[in-house]
Homo-oligomer: A and B are copies of this chain.
Amino acid sequence: MENWLPTLITATPAEGYDLAVKLARVAVKMTQPDTAVRERLRPVYAEDADSLTAASHVVAVHFATVAAANNYWREAR
């Protein structure tokens, strides 16, 4: 996983959001490296509203970081 995060800079806000989603998922993978277990858990929490909200929350925290790194893509306006 050495090259999974070369930079926080993205061309657009949407790409920055995708990066935030990735940042949220990598910590899960690091704690639970077994893909089979993660695959088993996914359908359960993907049908639980509170689990989905919690996942969205983590994305929000990472998006704040990525957005700041990109100066909020103000130039791209």
Contacts and interface: CB of A to CB of B under 8 A. Distances in A.
Interface in A23-55: 23-28, 30-32, 37, 41-42, 44-55
A63 B25 CA distance: 13
Interface string A63-77: 111011100111011
A57 B61 contact: yes
25 contacts: A2-B14, A3-B14, A5-B17, A7-B13, A9-B74, A9-B77, A21-B27, A31-B55, A37-B47, A41-B48, A41-B49, A41-B52, A42-B49, A45-B49, A49-B51, A50-B54, A53-B54, A53-B58, A54-B54, A57-B61, A58-B60, A62-B63, A64-B64, A67-B68, A69-B74
